[in-house]
Each structure stands twice: as C-alpha cells, then as structure tokens.
Structure 1
Amino acid sequence: MLTAIIMAGGSGERFWPLSTPERPKQLLKIFSDKTMIRETVDRILPIIEAENIFIATNIIQAKEIEKELSDIPKENIIIEPAFKDTAAAIGYSSLIIENRFKNRLKDGEKLEVVVLASDHLIKEEEEFRKVILIASKEAKENGMIVTLGIKPDKPETGYGYIEVKDDEIELNSICKVKRFREKPSQELAESYLASGKYLWNSGMFIFTTDTIFKNFEVLMEEHSSVFKEIEKEFKENLTGEELSNKVKKYFDKFEKISIDFGIMEYSKNIRVIPVDIGWNDIGSFNAFDEIFEKDENGNVVRGKEIRELDSRNNIVISDDLNISLLGIENLVIVKDKNNLLISKKNRVQDIKKILKLRKGIL
C-alpha cells in the first residue's frame, strides 16, 4: 500500500515578506493559481489516494492547511508538538501511518511511504510519478530506503550532494550510494559536476515502515525508544491537536537531528535514483531567476509592472506598488502589504537575520 508524508512545517522566513509563520512558502501561489502544497498533493494524487496522503505540520499552520486541502481527511493532518527536525518528524508520521493501516494490509502486503517536501517545484510531473513507482518497488522488494538524486546542470553550492558508486549514472535506474556530501565550495562543486558521479540531494525518500523502523533501531536507538513510548498513546485513537498535546512530553526527549545525519549517511540500505524532472527546491528569491521569464535587461518582474532605466538582472515582486528602477543591478525588491524588502541577490540567504533584527534578537 502506497502512502505519502508531505512535510509542511516550514517557518516562512526565507520568503519574507511574502511569507509569514502563519502563511509560509507552501501556502503561497508562486507559480500558478494554486498554492505550492496544493500542487504537491495534485502531483501525487494519480498514484496515491487522498486518504493515504498525510501532511506533517505544526499547530500554527494546521488550520490553513486543512482549509487549503479539503480533500485530505482532517485526521491525516499530523500536528507535531515541537520542531525536532526531520528524523523525529518522519519517524512520528510513519508511526501514525503504520498504526492507521497495519490491520488493513493483506497477507504479504507492506506499507510504503513517500516523503516529499510541500514547497518544491517539479515540472516533469508524469516522469516524477514514474520514478516514485520504481522507487516504491525497490523499497518493497529489497528493503531499501530510496532517495531521488537530481542530475546537476551547474556547480551549485547551495545543495548537498550524493556520490554514486556506479561508474555511469543512468537516469531512472537504481544506483548504489557511496556517500552523502555536505554543501560544497564553488571549486568542489565544479569538480563534482565534472566527475559525473554526483547528484543533488533532493530530500525525497521512499521506504517501507518496516525498513525505516529497523534503521531507527540500529542507528538511532534513542529515537526508536521514544517511538515505542508514543505508540502506547495510539490506543485512544486521538488525532490532530489532541494527539499532539498527548505526545508532547515524548517529543521533548527527541534529539534535534535530521534524518540525513541520523540515518541516510550511515545506513547500509540506501539506494538513489538519478532523475531529471525539472526540480527546484525554491530555496530563496534567487530561484525566480531560474523559473520565470526575464525581460530584455534580465529583470524578473512579478505583479505590478515596473519602469526601468539602465537597470539589469533584478528580481522585483510587488503586490500593489508601481516601482521605478534607475541604474541598479542585481537587487531583490519585494513589496507585500506594509513590508518592503530590498536586498542584494547575494544576501537573500540572510533574510532570517533581518527578521531577528526586527524582533530585537540581534
């Protein structure tokens, strides 16, 4: 049985002022008339039924997500009581899925779980679904945790990398993983690209619940113990906020660690499928340069039209303000309601610092 966990607990900081904690990037309509989380759900509905799709989020965003995804059962909105990173989030959500469906499985049937981000862009949707089914088969038949590796087209320093053991990388094939690599320097990223043996780490995973919990037992024993404590609370059949309140005391015991550091880098059961699916994680406003059409001066304009003179390679987003550019280059200008952001392109990763400054933290 194929199920999905869509990770939707982002804080909305990197896309301020468009996004806020209550309405983060996944709830924005950036590329179409649909929110990014709606696009994510629609992308997998042809292969996974709505009742088998779960959304992992937090109490701040739960109500908006519930409204946005009215076709997803309310009890499938998983509210994490605290942010303890992806190892706890994925393990906890997998535990809920296993508890929900374990008595419905036929003899020999396994529960496969597809873990997806709620705010990624994937242009080649049919190809994506084809690869998910290949990964699901590998996870079910061979007990592997399968991740999707994006074929790089440039020396990107903002992504982690996966080094493949195979001499040649063949798209949509099952490959052995040599090791995971952290975000590289420019020079190292160029060498990765030239070697042809490295893929971008997309953060998408496919596994069976049996496999993931065996890996937790071996590699993250403390997490595994907490999951067993949490499982005892399922006998009351609580969901949503009631379940979140009930298990909060257990979440406090989790070490804050990602599943990449906790399992993926050490497990012997990892495989990667190289893909070319038009993927972008939309990690910052600079992604607009890659996604949207530019004018004759290299400017990306969304919303109101702008007037420009001797201005090049800017990203301008405005909800209701006419903006004039004069002699400026490589800026990001974002106007939303009462907030205006003006940043150099090479500083947009520091937007979080601006928010801290506004809160008086810095």
Structure 2
Amino acid sequence: MSKIQPIILSGGAGTRLWPMSRRLYPKQLLPLCGPQTLLQQTLARVADRARFHPPLIIANEEHRFIIAEQMRQIGLCASAVILEPEGRNTAPAIALGALAAQDQDADAVALVMPSDHLIQNRAAFDEAVARAAAAVRDTQALATFGITPTAPETGYGYIARGTPVANHAGCYRVARFVEKPDRQTAQSYLAQGGYDWNSGMVLFRTRDYLAALARLEPEMAALCQSAHDAMAADGMFRRPGAAAWQAMPARSIDHAVMERHANTLVVPADLGWSDIGSWNALAQVTARDKNANSLIGDVIVCESHDSYLRADGPMLAAVGVRGLVVVATRDAVLVA
C-alpha cells in the first residue's frame, strides 16, 4: 500500500495557555507534555518512512526558524514548510497542503493533524490511521477521527456515528456533526453512546478533498490554486502567492467542507488524546503527586492539593492552596 502524506497544521496561536504560549512562541512550539515540544511529538508520530512521506508543515512566517531548529533537534525533516502570510483558518491551509502533495503524487492520501494536540496511545493511532486510509481508498470519502468521550465536555464538537462502512471494521458513516453542546446535551450523548469528540484530524485522498472544496467553496478553491501556482521557494520554505492569499476567505474545514459533504466517515479511537486547550486540560494529562498536585519546574508546596503549579524561571512556593492553576514565567504570573 502506498505511503501516506502527513500535513501538519502549525499556525495556531494557543492564546488560552498564556503566559507561556504567546504570539512568537505558541503552544505547539513549547515542551508542555514532556521534553519534546508538541510539534516535535507530532513529527515523531509520523516518522516511520515505510508508512509516511516526510510531512508538509503549514506554519506562520514568524515561526519558520523555530520550526527548522526544532526539526534539527530531533533529526527529522519536512518535505516543505509552507508559510502563510496570515492565518485563514484550516480549510485553505489544508488545500495548500493537498495541492503540494499532488505535485508529488496525483493519488496522494493525506493525513491532516494539528501540531498542538497530545496523543499518548501511539499503537491506537497507527491502527486508526491504517483503518481510515483503507476506507477512503475504497469509498473516496473524507474521514475524520472521533475520540471516545470520557466526560460530558462542552468545549468540543461531537460527531454522531451512522451506519458501519461495509468491509471496513471500525469505520462509520457520519450521521451529523454537532457544534459544542451544553452540558445536559453532552451528558445525553454519553448516555446514548455512538457519539465521539471531533479530534480535528482528517484523512482523505487529496483529489477528493480538492473536488469537494471546489464544489462547496469555489472561490476559495480558485484562490488556493492561484496561491499555490504562485508559490515561491526559499530552501525548504514555500511562500504562497500573497495577492491570492490576502483575498482568501477564512473558514474551518468543518464549516467549509466536512459538515456539508455527503461522503464523510468517522473512525472512533481511544488515542489518549487531548487538545491541550486550557491549563486545566494540561493538568489532566500531567503526572500528579500524592496530593493530586502537578508540579513543573522549581516548585515548593506545603499543605496544598489539586493544583497545577508551574515555574519557568523564578521559584514558585505555594502554601495551603487548593484547586489552583499557577503559572510563573520570567515576566508574568497567572493565578486561576
């Protein structure tokens, strides 16, 4: 079976993790969940060259040298880093990656991943990707990955499973996409079963995604083609045509394509996944001491419980606190 082309989205700002995550150093470029940054972990996830081509990275112009250095640190490289002049959300960014993939292989199958998510179960990830790739080759569908819910979260979109896909165990037609529900609705989804969190990862044949985009968002598709055709090379960096990009509408892949396309699949998986979308989410995937505290950096605690305490520079001391998030950097302190 032919290799899969990873497309890694690394243009996010990660503002909800201030004061560590900032415009010039967003969360995907930080070592929040271990010694490697989230981007480095994402690159390592698709490092098997027997199964994956070198990835295409879609990134912000301001981060290009940081990304290059982080790849050098772990001995991995990208086939290209496509630099957005400014963010236009995920639908056009993914189209740029799909067009670049087609330059190498007209029948390319692409795996799109955010660079700022955590996946702890690599074996489950590999299995889910293999299932999805086989299914999209047979059905020409656009596949998304559903995360098995563990709580009635209201910060995620949900995907309702439809009928199973014939001859592809573990794959389902998408019955519908659901915007972030209220808590009561989320609780009903868990009670009913058959609902998954929307992970933001998708897999498709590039020709099928580009055809769907051309049908559903013809202006965006035409501008993406123009931006791609005017792409300028600078070593491994690629800069799309600025005039077309400035005219580009900003839409997510869910709103532009996935929710409006009839042929979509969901592959549910228990990946040990988190979008690391808040300090509380980060605390949930960080090791805790006997008092349920997560302690990172130069931190001293006394009679403190259920807290996330992180020091990046100054020493942090906490006495008698409970249920707090405290993050101290060299120039700012967050207490929440």
- TM-score (normalizing by structure 1): 0.85
In the TM superposition, what is the alpha-carbon distance from 1:294 to its structure 2 partner? 2.3
Q: Deviations over 1:233-285 (max 9, x none)?
A: 25xx63579852x5111012211110100101010110000101111111111
Report what 2:296 is aligned to: 302
Is the contact made by 2:11 and 2:60 (CA closer than 8 Å) also made in structure 1? Answer: yes
In the TM superposition, what is the alpha-carbon distance from 1:118 to its structure 2 partner? 0.8
Residues 173/74 of structure 1: CA separation in 2 closer, same or farther (3 Å cut)? closer
Range 198-207 or range 64-73, more displaced: 64-73
**Cα distance in 2 for residues equivalent to 1:51 and 1:138:** 19
Mapping of residues 10-49 of structure 1, within 5 Å: 10-46=12-48
Give, as a single letter, the amino acid of the residue that structure 2 aligns with 1:331: L
Report what 1:154 is aligned to: 151
Is the contact made by 1:307 and 1:325 (CA closer than 8 Å) also made in structure 2? Answer: yes
Matched, 1:113 2:113: no
Is the contact made by 1:51 and 1:72 (CA closer than 8 Å) also made in structure 2? Answer: no
Partner SS, residue 224 of structure 1: helix
Partner SS, residue 325 of structure 2: strand
Report what 1:5 is aligned to: 7
Structure with more of its chain in helix, by fraction: 1
Is the contact made by 2:160 and 2:194 (CA closer than 8 Å) also made in structure 1? Answer: yes
Q: Deviations over 1:16-45 (max 9, x none)?
A: 222222221111112222111111111111
Of residues 61, 64, 68 in structure 1, which corresponds to 2:63?
A: 61
Matched, 1:277 2:288: no
In the TM superposition, what is the alpha-carbon distance from 1:297 to its structure 2 partner? 2.9
Report what 1:331 is aligned to: 324
Residues 160/323 of structure 1: CA separation in 2 closer, same or farther (3 Å cut)? same
Residues 48/192 of structure 1: CA separation in 2 closer, same or farther (3 Å cut)? farther
Report what 2:138 is aligned to: 141
Partner SS, residue 255 of structure 1: coil
Unaligned stretches of 5+ residues in structure 1: 344-362
Q: Deviations over 1:307-348 (max 9, x none)?
A: 223x332210012433333343222110111221112xxxxx
Is the contact made by 1:147 and 1:204 (CA closer than 8 Å) also made in structure 2? Answer: yes
Give, as a single letter, the amino acid of the residue that structure 1 aligns with 2:6: A
Is the contact made by 2:80 and 2:238 (CA closer than 8 Å) also made in structure 1? Answer: no
- TM-score (normalizing by structure 2): 0.91
Residues 335/172 of structure 1: CA separation in 2 closer, same or farther (3 Å cut)? farther
Is the contact made by 1:112 and 1:209 (CA closer than 8 Å) also made in structure 2? Answer: yes
Is the contact made by 2:297 and 2:310 (CA closer than 8 Å) also made in structure 1? Answer: yes
RMSD: 2.3
Q: Deviations over 1:153-212 (max 9, x none)?
A: 111111110011138xxx961101111011111111100110102100000000111101
Of residues 296, 301, 307 in structure 2, which corresponds to 1:314?
A: 307
Q: Deviations over 1:112-160 (max 9, x none)?
A: 0000011111111022112112211212222111111001111111111
Of residues 74, 80, 90 in structure 2, which corresponds to 1:76?
A: 80
**Cα distance in 2 for residues equivalent to 1:75 and 1:275:** 28
Report what 1:127 is aligned to: 124
Partner SS, residue 333 of structure 1: strand
Range 321-330 or range 188-197, more displaced: 321-330
Of residues 190, 200, 204 in structure 2, which corresponds to 1:203?
A: 200
Residues 291/231 of structure 1: CA separation in 2 closer, same or farther (3 Å cut)? closer
Partner SS, residue 91 of structure 2: helix
Is the contact made by 1:302 and 1:318 (CA closer than 8 Å) also made in structure 2? Answer: yes
Is the contact made by 1:2 and 1:52 (CA closer than 8 Å) also made in structure 2? Answer: no
Report what 2:250 is aligned to: 256
Give, as a single letter, the amino acid of the residue that structure 1 aligns with 2:289: D
Residues 240/251 of structure 1: CA separation in 2 closer, same or farther (3 Å cut)? farther
Report what 1:286 is aligned to: 280
**Cα distance in 1 for residues equivalent to 2:30 and 2:228:** 34
Give, as a single letter, the amino acid of the residue that structure 2 aligns with 1:33: P
Report what 1:346 is aligned to: none
Is the contact made by 1:47 and 1:129 (CA closer than 8 Å) also made in structure 2? Answer: no
Partner SS, residue 45 of structure 1: coil
Q: Percent identity?
A: 30
Would you say how many aligned residue pairs link Structure 1 and Structure 2?
330
